[in-house]
Amino acid sequence: MASIDLSTHPLTAWNGPLGLPEFDRIEESAFAPVFEAAFAAHEAEIAAIADSGEAPTIENTLAALELSGNPLSRVSAIFWCRAGAHTNEVIQKLEREISPRMARHYSRLFMNEALFRRIDTLYGARTTLGLDKETARVLEKTWKRFVRGGAKLDAEGKARLAKINEELAELGARFGQNVLADESKWALFLEETDLAGLPSSLRSAMAEAAQSRGQPGRYAVTLSRSIAEPFLSFSSRRDLREAVLEAFTRRGANDGEANNAGIVQKTLKLRAEKARLLGYENYAAYKLDDTMAKTPDAVMRLLEPVWEKAREKAAADEKELQRLAAAEGYNHPIAAWDWRYYAEKLRAERFAFDEGALEPYLALENVIAAAFDVAHRLFGLTFEEQKSVPAWHEDVRVFTLKNRDGSERGVFLADYFNRPSKRSGAWMSGLQSGYKLGRGENPIIYNIMNFAKPPKGKPALLSVDDARTLFHEFGHALHGLLSDVTWPSIAGTSVARDFVELPSQLFEHWFSTPQVLSKHARHVETGEPIPAELLEKMRAARNFNAGFATVEFTASALVDMAYHERPDAPEDPLAFEAEVLEKLAKPAAVPMRHATPHFLHVFSGESYSAGYYSYLWSEVLDADAFRAFEEAGDPFDQGTAEKLRRYIYSAGGSADPEELYKAFRGR
């Protein structure tokens, strides 16, 4: 096999437009050999740092470690983007191989005794080194990362922890692939006579979904939320709603190879063992030790009162839904596939408001323009689309952005539409972070969505939830794009898990401000602004059905915590989930937002494990943060926006989250 030149290979030497990879030159068969070459190169760099005969310094140890592994970072960034956003059998097979290989590589790094001695020496002398606050923070976080990675374990413990990490990585890859398999292969094909109650925009999206699946002239319900949830809200066919919800909730739980029950059990068992090895009572204690919440008790003090209030509200709403159903001659208890349908009727009754009436005013292009406009008015950023720049799929759009003074800030890529090769949900990630160490790098950040793709030549119309999702993920993107730190490991979204959702959830608030909607919510055909009356109805109905939404979310967060507060793993996780929900007295008509077999946040990796609560934790912060603008009397107050940029969006993990928040808010 020919040797790989990492300095020239398109997976590691990015010579495309705007500093991007040359996606049109990337061959899938090249990933495996380039990964192996990149692993070897990184191992050589680590050995040089660890075995240096010089006394450890910030420059020759901490900075050298931070800047090492650039080729591995680059091939990894492209590969994991493809694995989530545009996968296939070749990529999936490699993902199952690379995930444990990557875990093994980083276990070796964190368990390297000579390297840890150098880090430990610096950490022990940290008060005498005259470090600036950011460097001191990076040194502390690096030392803790080594300890949590097993650096202080004995040889037997290190070997076992490394094996656990490998197995967990492989299980996480398989879990996500199983969910995608269930999502991509299922579709319910319908005829014109089956579409009673559906708005025209949903019909168009379903027609396009059927066309793309080789069924022209028909209509397809898929398991993309952008189609499934509107169908559950508007279809008057109860039998079809039941079929769709059944398929949606059984992702990862169907018979066959894609069943995730065994993976969940093994994952929980390994996580519990990992926590014990590292000296923690349970996995939740291990994960929360490095967050704002700190302990499982703090999380439960947040979740339990919210749960009780939400359950009470949902129970009251359910009585109202039952009343509406009875008026139609339906006298059975409201089922899970009935809730959204009758909730829409209740919304219309209470507020004379049909959410579908908003869609002509929420064309995707308008919502994108609105998000860019908010970023410009708050932070002075200007976005310009660059046509014909290749990316991982033809649907991906590429934008350059500049600062207020015209200097280059970075690159933003957006992949908006659902397809069978894309994992469900919406997320932000980056091809590279923005930092200043060494030669520094500008950020290259991307957003992934799963909006229903319209027929060719037709505009994509978004629901209110879709529009908020776009704003949410763009808030994450800004957190990456505005990164203004020296050290790579604390750049952008490299913050505590229960702080990372603050910039995203906060950005959602600007979507519904009068200044934004009056300018950008314009009718897709006439260009007329959204009528004031409709706007007022939308605001009045904003918190409608909050009991349902909070129950479905909080049930998932409580189950996540219940799994990980145990000192061991349940033998039957699905039976355990049912027991937890029974003790909580969860309303039968409100499904969990993420049932265990398809709980990607928690089981396709460790990022949100024992951490799904973080959305609710950040919600407390984001409400208070936006109140700062309300107190200033202007949602675009420049003094408040500058503090928001400096201490929240640009600061990354350069300081403790509480310190950053207090610097912004004053309390």
**Rounded Cα gap, residues 309 and 314, in angstroms:** 9
* Closest CA relative to residue 211, chosen from 220, 202, 224: 220
Under 8 Å between Cβ of 404 and 377: no
Under 8 Å between Cβ of 213 and 313: no
Under 8 Å between Cβ of 283 and 299: no
- In Å, how far are 453, 522, 523, 536 from 526, measured between CA atoms? 22, 8, 5, 21
**Rounded Cα gap, residues 184 and 201, in angstroms:** 22
54 catalytically annotated: no
* Choice among 170, 183, 355, 473 that is catalytic: 473
Measured in Å, how far apart are the chain's first and last C-alpha atoms? 61
Under 8 Å between Cβ of 417 and 461: no
**Rounded Cα gap, residues 99 and 558, in angstroms:** 28
**Rounded Cα gap, residues 516 and 371, in angstroms:** 9
Paired with 448 in beta bridges are 415, 427
Q: Are strands 408-417 and 427-432 parallel, antiparallel or unpaired?
A: unpaired
- In Å, how far are 228, 337, 542 from 354, measured between CA atoms? 18, 19, 12
31-50 vs 70-85: helix crossing angle, rounded to 10: 140
- For residue 9, the SS3 value is coil
Who contacts 650 (Cβ-Cβ below 8 Å, separation ≥6)? Answer: 482, 483, 484, 485
**Rounded Cα gap, residues 8 and 18, in angstroms:** 17
Q: Are strands 408-417 and 219-221 parallel, antiparallel or unpaired?
A: unpaired
**Rounded Cα gap, residues 223 and 422, in angstroms:** 12
**Rounded Cα gap, residues 92 and 569, in angstroms:** 28
Tokens 């730190």 sit on residue = 485
Length of the chain equals 667
Q: Which residues are catalytic?
A: 473
